[in-house]
Amino acid sequence: MRTSIDDLQFFQAVAASETLTAAARRLGYSLPAISKRLSALEQRLDVRLVQRGTRRLVLTSEGALYASGIDAILDRLRELEDVVTDGSGDLRGSLVVQATLGLGRAHVAPLLAEFAAPHPALQVVLNTSALPLRPHRREFDVAVHVGPPPDSSLRMRRLAENRRVPCASPSYLERRGIPGRVEELAEHDCIVLRENEGDFVLWRFGDAGDPVQVRVRGSLASNDGDVVTGWALEGRGVIMRSEWQVRPYLERGDLVRILPEVPTPAADIYALLASDGHVPRRVTALTDHLAARLPARLGRM
């Protein structure tokens, strides 16, 4: 039996996942079904593709080679589809989009639904995650990322301007006082949005010519931005959050910006694409749509 395109797409999803459970969730199958299909593929190829007995999914050298070859084959197939359908005006094929939880739910998801509506032959998948972006795993066609991209080799397009700003509730500031200098934040209860491991984080201020940073600590931390913002609204501490996310609370007075005269580094929102190969027409069309519509949505927040 020859390997089908469906088999290639199956193993590409497996190779891009942290665990078989994550692959099952991504593909919409049960874990036993994923394991059975993977074993059948390995038996047909007469080679072990994935190491068993590890908590995280680890490819064998043969599995890594097979996955890289699959990426090239499927990329070429997408290019061929674009060439064939270029004159029709319709978009088809698949688009995998990755975004952070908060931005993905509030803005990227509605814009994707809006984009897909006139293209019934297009399959759009949105994966939201609180985990840091991992561009080397090729998990996406487009990643919507807040702040400087982690991999300078990626193609990128700025979708909207944004900054991270420190703020707290009026009740917290009445109880603890308003910081007058950046360094005073080290003495405050700072609620940390923990995207990476560590006992502390650095909050950065100023610009490239005059950077200032302060090491902050607090008793509360989360990898969920909505949780962090909720704690701040309850008066539990100071947060450093994207301006797009806290603007409504600042305008209503539920939160107050701290040190408004001190500039904060830009955390613009980008669309990130793989740096190699042809950019499919559907990817270009989606980034055009996001660039045209996202700033207006953020401005209405």
Let me know whether 80 and 104 are in one domain. no
Most confident of 39-53, 168-182, 258-272: 168-182
Strand order in the sheet with 93-100: 122-129, 93-100, 142-146, 269-273, 155-160
Residue 66 φ then ψ, to 5°: -65, -45
pLDDT at 214 over 90: yes
Average pLDDT rounded to a whole number, residues 260-265: 91
287, 154 Cβ separation under 8 angstroms? no
Let me know whether 286 and 244 are in one domain. no
Per-residue pLDDT of 30-65, as tens digits, reads: 989 999 999 999 999 999 999 876 678 889 999 989
> Domain containing 152 — which CATH number?
3.40.190.10
pLDDT at 116 over 60: yes
Residue 262 lies in a domain: no
> Domain containing 174 — which CATH number?
3.40.190.290
Tokens 């919409």: give the residue. 28
When divided into structural domains, the chain yields a total of: 3
User: Domain range spanning residue 186?
Assistant: 164-257
- Say what the pLDDT of residue 100 is: 87
DSSP 105: I
pLDDT at 204 over 80: yes
Residue 93 lies in a domain: yes
Residue 104 lies in a domain: yes
Nearest CA among 5, 29, 1 for reference residue 17: 29
Let me know whether 10 and 40 are in one domain. yes
Let me know whether 207 and 175 are in one domain. yes
Let me know whether 26 and 80 are in one domain. yes
Residue 238 lies in a domain: yes
Per-residue pLDDT of 93-113, as tens digits, reads: 888 899 988 899 999 999 999
pLDDT at 300 over 60: no
Nearest CA among 98, 130, 146 for reference residue 268: 146
- Say what the pLDDT of residue 151 is: 64
Environment class of residue 246 by beta-carbon count within 10 Å: exposed (0-12), middle (13-18) or buried (19+)? buried
The pTM for the full model equals 0.71
- Confidence band of 243 (pLDDT split at 50, 70, 90): very high
- Confidence band of 75 (pLDDT split at 50, 70, 90): confident
- Confidence band of 268 (pLDDT split at 50, 70, 90): very high
The two three-digit tokens of residue 174, written as one number: 């009445």
Name the least confident of 85-89, 146-150, 232-236: 85-89
pLDDT at 162 over 80: yes
Let me know whether 109 and 64 are in one domain. no
Let me know whether 74 and 133 are in one domain. no
Residue 297 lies in a domain: yes
Let me know whether 178 and 246 are in one domain. yes
Let me know whether 107 and 147 are in one domain. yes
Let me know whether 155 and 128 are in one domain. yes
109-116 helix and 281-299 helix, angle to the nearest 10 degrees: 130
Let me know whether 151 and 291 are in one domain. yes
Question: Cα–chain-centroid distance for residue 225?
Answer: 13
pLDDT at 76 over 70: yes
Residue 139 lies in a domain: yes
> Domain containing 74 — which CATH number?
1.10.10.10
Residue 156 lies in a domain: yes
Furthest CA-CA distance within the chain: 72
